[in-house]
Amino acid sequence: MAKVITIATHKGGQTKTTTVKNLALSASEKGNTLMVDLDPQHNLSTWVGANLDKTIDDFFEGTPIENTITNIRPNLDIIGSSLKLEKISQNMIARNHREYIFKRGLSSVQDKYDYIFVDTSPSLGVLVQNAIMATDFLLIPLSQEAGGTEGLLDFVHLAEELIGEKPKFGLVATKVDKRKTVASKAIKADLAAFSLSEYLLNTSIPVDAHVDHANTAGMFLDEYDKNSEALHSYRELFDEVIKLI
The percentage of residues in the chain with a pLDDT greater than 70, rounded to a whole number, is 99
Q: 180 versus 195: which is more confidently predicted?
A: 195
Residue 111 or residue 10, greater confidence: 111
pLDDT number for residue 163: 87
145: pLDDT strictly greater than 80: no
pLDDT for 101-131, tens place per residue?
Answer: 999 999 999 999 999 999 999 988 999 999 9
pLDDT at 124: 84
Average confidence (pLDDT) over 47-65: 95
pLDDT at 183: 76
pLDDT band at 87 (very low <50, low <70, confident <90, very high): very high
For residue 98, the model assigns a pLDDT of 93
Sheet of strand 70-73: strand arrangement: 70-73, 76-79, 33-38, 115-120, 3-7, 137-143, 169-174
3-state secondary structure of 86: helix
**How confident is the model at residue 144, as a pLDDT?**
80
Residues 6+ positions from 214 with CB-CB distance below 8 Å: 47, 220, 221, 223, 224, 225
User: What's the whole-number mean pLDDT along residues 18-46?
Assistant: 97
Q: Angle at which helices 84-92 and 126-134 pack, to 10 degrees? A: 80
Measure the CA dihedral 60/65/67/71, to 10°.
110
Place 32 in a pLDDT band, splitting at 50, 70 and 90: very high
Q: How distant is the alpha carbon of residue 157 from its chain centre?
A: 18
How confident is the model at residue 205, as a pLDDT? Answer: 95
